[in-house]
Amino acid sequence: MFQDKELICKDCGNTFIFTAGEQAFYAEKGFENEPTRCRECRNARKAARNTATGTRPPRELHTAICADCGVETEVPFKPVSNRPVYCRECFAKHRLGSE
């Protein structure tokens, strides 16, 4: 049914084989597009996204003052002056109150 295909990596320009087994796996998973990168370039991209521990880099946190209780808190976005920022506890209260 499937036959090995020779493809060209869009990053390094080298040819690589998209094996019949890989094609069967892609079909089984419902993937419609063929790979565009060779295994080495895919692994390099994956490694560039990950830190040495194999996880995503930590989020940059910004300090803000909770609009309800006034406690200093850290949030994963840059606060805007015209929008309230809440600590974890006050945010949870607002979320429960809006349902």
What pLDDT digit, counting tens, does each position of 42-68 carry? 988 887 776 555 566 677 899 999 999
Question: How many Å apart are CA 65 and CA 71, to the nearest integer?
Answer: 6
The pLDDT assigned to 7 comes to 96
In the chain, which residues have pLDDT < 50? none
Quote the pLDDT of residue 51: 53
DSSP characters for 18-63? E-HHHHHHHHHHT--SPP-S-HHHHHHHHHHHS-TTSSPPPPP-EE
Query: What is residue 4's predicted lDDT score, i.e. its pLDDT?
Result: 95
Long-range contacts formed by 2-7: CB under 8 A, 24+ apart: 2/27, 5/34, 7/34, 7/35, 7/36
Q: What pLDDT, on the 0 to 100 scale, is given for residue 56?
A: 64
**Model pTM score:** 0.49
